[in-house]
């Protein structure tokens, strides 16, 4: 009976994690609560994940990564080298891939990609390159390199610690390199050759605001008393001067009028829900045809105003605003900043009001603000400014300390002088002590939702083990592989893990699949270590979807990608990892 209860919890968990009907951290807490209330786990067993070394190590490495980025130990060097490429698309791509891969092998790849987004967009503006040729390859390069070392991705750290708990030993700092480096080298070569051919050639939105469908924003605009739009139908008026604008809905007094007929006349004080390009939205505001609700009366949208800029802000994974309503954020409350519109990939505009819209990773907000307010936004972690030049806001004086501390961490962990968790916590302490990382940035770097998800899935994995569900799933999984070799079964585990990680996060996939993989190995009577390593590589093989990996989602908006763009490079990379993993893991880690 307990197996079926755990199976039901697992199915509901998978549904909630895939659909994100509720936030993932709420789902994680729900897992713990249900397992305690159902008495499948005792309270201590349910919350033991909070003391798991993997959770503490991942949190510490996130903070260390932030320190490496904020001191410019990665980005400043990267930007200078890219600058020396002198605008050559091939050389720029090669240098970018190498720098991103080198950095991502040792620090968390999310801040590396966050760092390179504004660098690439700025480079694209300066040399008239297409950022969409770079951004997905940058995300993929960071994922490929993350599998080369123990600390390259949080997934490896989690799998290593769970392996220790199961009694099969941890993973060494460079133990995965024997397979990870060949996969990364072949993958980077593939990206270098194929991404210019297969990736779309969109222009940079801050350089040339085109009127294509994928460059349109959702905005709410009010019609002032003396507007030339009053008394006219929107279709003919917009067609003459603002051709990209499309009217979806009108709020007139207490009435909400869905617009099915474009000839509906507009009257003064109407509130309009529209979609359009940034250039047409700004033009309407500058022409005093419409106004922003709740904006200052003297707000100026003239291009001649050199002290006020219109910029695009991206919501990064570490933003504290994720889940908040756009109009409840401190950005809306800032008297100097004025929200014009928002863009979200695949948003059905007519079904979403700005008042109720909650921010997600990758959302792009169009904002008008003075230059000094822009500088304040740069110093925070809630937004990435697309046109930002990152080396202007980092603290380069501390870069030597950051590199020294990080080198010491790697040396101590590799030599076995201390456990990776001890090294990571010591590194955080020294970075804060030397000023490489202030406490505010350190706390912001901790991804609470990620850590809670790890804790929740660890609890679910423990419940699967305790009730015998893991063995049940292993037997079910082995049925199609009767009379086959362990190598074929290993390939099946890698494929299952890779498919799962396209839908779930890589961390959740690793925690849930690892007990099944170990139980499967024990059923076959072979060494579980190859299966443990297979889960590491399979869980990080998330190339064919923007959903399962944060860096993929992060570049989705700035690159103006479609879902299908991830398949062009992603499917071959998934096949590469699966094939090389299946063939070479038994060579380096024998059954």
Short-list 296, 305, 283, CA closest to 335: 296
Cα separation of 248 and 238, whole Å? 13
Report the pLDDT value the prediction gives residue 296, as an integer from 0 to 100: 56
Compute the mean pLDDT over every residue in the chain, rounded to the nearest whole number.
Answer: 80
Residues 336 and 439 in one domain: no
CATH number, domain of 356, equals 3.30.70.1450
Report the pLDDT value the prediction gives residue 82, as an integer from 0 to 100: 64
Cα separation of 59 and 65, whole Å? 10
Helices (H) and strands (E) in the chain, counts: 24, 8
Tell whether 20 is covered by a domain: no
Residues 344 and 218 in one domain: yes
Question: Structural domain of residue 101, as residue ranges?
Answer: 53-206+398-447+466-591
Short-list 169, 119, 174, CA closest to 149: 174
Residue 222 sits at φ, ψ, to 5 deg, of: -105, 150
Comparing 332-336, 348-352, 409-413, 479-483, the range with the smallest average pLDDT is 348-352
Residues 290 and 191 in one domain: no
Residues pairing with 247 in the sheet: 274
Tell whether 562 is covered by a domain: yes
Residue 583 sits at φ, ψ, to 5 deg, of: -80, -35
Residues 193 and 287 in one domain: no
Residues 156 and 242 in one domain: no
Tell whether 527 is covered by a domain: yes
Residues 110 and 255 in one domain: no
Short-list 529, 510, 519, CA closest to 588: 529
Residue 257 has pLDDT above 70, yes or no: yes
H helix intervals, 200-358: 234-241, 278-286, 330-333
Mean pLDDT (whole number) for 127-141: 88
Residues 199 and 315 in one domain: no
- Report the range out of 108-122, 366-380, 471-485, 559-573 with the highest average pLDDT: 559-573
Residues 257 and 322 in one domain: yes
Mean pLDDT (whole number) for 388-411: 68
Comparing 321-325, 423-427, 454-458, 555-559, the range with the smallest average pLDDT is 555-559
Residues 130 and 251 in one domain: no
14 with 21: CB under 8 angstroms? no
Residue 357 has pLDDT above 90, yes or no: no
529 with 101: CB under 8 angstroms? no
Cα separation of 465 and 516, whole Å? 9
Report the pLDDT value the prediction gives residue 205, as an integer from 0 to 100: 46
Mean pLDDT (whole number) for 461-477: 83
SS3 category, 390: helix
Place of tokens 């991502």: 104
Cα separation of 69 and 65, whole Å? 6
382 vs 12: which has the higher pLDDT: 12
**Looking at 385, 417, 436, which one is the last position of a domain?**
385
The tens digit of pLDDT for each residue in 36-85 reads: 999 889 999 899 888 888 788 888 888 887 787 777 666 665 666 666 67
Residue 422 sits at φ, ψ, to 5 deg, of: -60, -45
Residue 575 has pLDDT above 90, yes or no: yes
C-alpha distances out from residue 67 to 60, 111, 379, Å: 11, 10, 14
Residue 449 has pLDDT above 80, yes or no: no
The tens digit of pLDDT for each residue in 206-246 reads: 444 333 444 577 788 888 888 888 888 777 788 877 888 88
Residues 190 and 252 in one domain: no
Tell whether 100 is covered by a domain: yes
532 with 47: CB under 8 angstroms? no
Tell whether 36 is covered by a domain: no
**Looking at 340, 357, 385, which one is the last position of a domain?**
385
In the DSSP assignment, the letter for residue 291 is B
Residues 188 and 267 in one domain: no
- Residues in CB range of 544: below 8 A, 6 or more apart: 502, 566, 567, 570, 571, 574
H helix intervals, 250-370: 278-286, 330-333
Strand order in the sheet with 246-252: 255-258, 246-252, 271-277, 216-222, 338-343, 364-370, 308-314, 384-385
Residue 524 has pLDDT above 80, yes or no: yes
Number of domains forming the structure of the chain: 2
Residue-wise burial string across 76-93, b where 16 or more C-beta atoms lie within 10 A, e elsewhere: bebbeebeebeeebeebb
Q: pTM for the whole thing?
A: 0.66
Tell whether 6 is covered by a domain: no
**Looking at 364, 385, 406, which one is the last position of a domain?**
385
Q: Looking at 278-363, which runs of residues are DSSP E strands?
A: 308-314, 338-343
- Token readout for 347 is 């948003």
| Percentage of residues of the chain with pLDDT beyond 70 | 85
Residues 202 and 335 in one domain: no
CA-based R_g, the chain, Å: 25
Report the pLDDT value the prediction gives residue 454, as an integer from 0 to 100: 82
Cα separation of 570 and 565, whole Å? 8
Place of tokens 């006020």: 308
Residue 130 sits at φ, ψ, to 5 deg, of: -100, 115
Name the band, by pLDDT with cuts 50, 70 and 90, for residue 297. Answer: low
Tell whether 186 is covered by a domain: yes
Cα separation of 441 and 439, whole Å? 5
- Token readout for 388 is 């930002």
242 with 280: CB under 8 angstroms? yes
Please state, as a whole number, how many other Cβ atoms lie within 10 Å of the Cβ of residue 8. Answer: 12
The tens digit of pLDDT for each residue in 163-187 reads: 998 889 889 989 999 999 999 999 9
Tell whether 563 is covered by a domain: yes
- Token readout for 448 is 């609470």
């Amino acid at each position: 009976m307990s197996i079926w209860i755990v199976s039901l919890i697992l199915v509901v968990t998978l549904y909630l994690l895939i659909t994100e009907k509720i936030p993932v951290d709420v789902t994680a807490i729900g897992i713990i609560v249900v397992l305690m209330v159902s008495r499948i786990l005792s309270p201590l067993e349910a919350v033991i994940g909070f003391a798991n070394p993997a959770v503490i190590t991942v949190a510490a490495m996130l903070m260390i990564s932030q320190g490496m980025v904020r001191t410019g130990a990665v980005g400043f060097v990267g930007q200078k080298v890219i600058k020396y490429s002198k605008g050559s698309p091939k050389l720029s791509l090669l240098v970018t891939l190498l720098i991103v891969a080198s950095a991502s092998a040792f620090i968390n790849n999310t801040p590396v990609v966050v760092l390179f987004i504004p660098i690439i967009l700025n480079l694209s503006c300066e040399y008239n390159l297409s950022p969409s040729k770079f951004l997905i390859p940058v995300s993929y390069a960071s994922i490929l390199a993350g599998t080369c070392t123990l600390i390259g991705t949080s997934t490896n750290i989690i799998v290593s610690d769970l392996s220790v708990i199961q009694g099969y030993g941890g993973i060494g700092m460079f133990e995965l390199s024997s397979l990870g480096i060949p996969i990364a080298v072949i993958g980077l070569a593939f990206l270098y050759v194929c991404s210019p051919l297969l990736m779309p050639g969109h222009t940079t939105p801050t350089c040339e605001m085109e009127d294509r469908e994928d460059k349109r924003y959702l905005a709410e605009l009010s019609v002032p008393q003396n507007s030339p739009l009053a008394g006219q139908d929107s279709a003919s008026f917009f067609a003459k001067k603002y051709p990209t604008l499309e009217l979806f809905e009108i709020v007139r007094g207490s009435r909400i009028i869905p617009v099915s007929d474009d000839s509906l006349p507009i009257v003064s004080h109407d509130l309009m829900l529209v979609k359009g390009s940034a250039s047409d939205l700004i033009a309407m505001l500058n022409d005093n045809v419409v106004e922003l609700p709740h904006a200052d009366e003297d707000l100026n949208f003239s291009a001649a105003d050199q002290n006020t800029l219109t910029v695009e802000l991206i919501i990064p994974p570490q933003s504290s605003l994720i889940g908040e309503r756009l109009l409840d954020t401190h950005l809306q409350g800032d008297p100097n900043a004025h929200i014009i519109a928002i863009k979200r990939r695949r948003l059905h505009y007519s079904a979403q009001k700005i008042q109720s819209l909650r921010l997600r990773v990758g959302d792009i907000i169009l904002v008008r603000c003075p230059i000094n307010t822009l500088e304040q936004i740069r110093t925070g972690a809630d937004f990435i400014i697309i046109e930002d030049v990152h080396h202007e806001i980092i603290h380069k004086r501390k870069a030597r300390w950051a590199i020294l501390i990080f080198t010491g961490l790697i040396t101590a962990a590799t030599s076995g002088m201390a456990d990776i968790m001890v090294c990571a916590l010591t590194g955080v302490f020294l970075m804060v002590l030397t000023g490489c990382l202030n406490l505010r940035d350190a706390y912001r770097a901790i991804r609470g939702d990620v850590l809670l998800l790890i804790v929740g899935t660890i609890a679910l994995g423990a419940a699967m083990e305790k009730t015998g569900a893991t063995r049940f799933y292993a037997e079910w999984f082995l049925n199609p592989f009767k009379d086959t070799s362990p190598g074929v079964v290993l390939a099946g585990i890698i494929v299952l893990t890779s498919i799962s990680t396209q839908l779930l996060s890589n961390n959740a996939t690793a925690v849930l699949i690892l007990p099944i993989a170990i139980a499967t190995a024990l059923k076959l009577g072979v060494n579980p270590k190859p299966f443990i390593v297979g889960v590491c590589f399979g869980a990080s093989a998330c190339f064919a979807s923007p959903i399962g990996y944060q860096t993929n989602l992060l570049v989705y908006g700035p690159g103006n990608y479609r879902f299908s763009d991830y398949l062009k490079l992603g499917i071959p990379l998934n096949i590469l990892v699966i094939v090389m993993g299946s063939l070479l893991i038994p060579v380096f880690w024998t059954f």
